[in-house]
Structure 1
C-alpha cells in the first residue's frame, strides 16, 4: 500500500512540475527562439531551464528532511526492533527526486528547443 501511495505522490509531483515547466516554456517561447537563432544548442536551453527548477527541488528536499527525519524516528521508535535512519537515505531521496525532475523538465524543454525558432518569433 505504501508503494501505491508513493507512486501516486511521484506522479502528482511530475504533473505539477510539468505544469510549471509548460507555463515557463510558453512564457519564454520568444527567448528560446532568440537563443536558437543566436546559436544556443538544445543542451544549453535545457540546462537554462533545469537550473531554475532543480534549485527548487533541492530547496524542497532540504526543507522536508528535518520533518521526515523527526516523523520517521518517532514512528520507528514504537517498534520493538527498529533501525536508525541514516543520512544516505535522504541523499538517495534527493538524487531520485532530482533525476525524476530532470527527466520531466527535459521532456518539455527539448520539445520546445527543437521547434523552429521562426514560429515563436513570428508571433510578435
Structure 2
C-alpha cells in the first residue's frame, strides 16, 4: 500500500498536480445593512448550496470592506450585492445588484453557461 501511495504522489508531482484543483466559485460581495443582500439571504441563500448552480460555483461571501487578496477583480466592486464568478483567482464575470429570485437565477445561468470549462460539474 505504501508503494502505491508513493507512486501516486510521484505521479502527481510529475504532472504538476501538487495541490487541489481550484474550481469556480461565486463570490458574493456584501455589506452590513444592505437591504438587497438581506432579501437575497431570505430568497436564495437557503437553497443555493443544494442547486446545480451551487454545485457548479459554490458560494463564498466577502465584505465589500474586506475584499480577498487571492482574487484578481477586473474592477473593485462598488455595489452590494455583487456576485463575481471566479476561477483560479481570476474574475470571469459578475452580476451587480439583486432584482429578485427569477432574475437572479436567469442571469446566473447565463454567467455559468458562458464559462462551461470552469463551471462544469466534476
Q: TM-score, normalised by structure 1?
A: 0.25
Indicate the structure whose relative CO is greater, using CA pairs within 8 Å and at least 6 residues apart.
1
Q: Comparing both structures, which one devotes a greater share of its residues to strand?
A: 2
More helix by share: 1
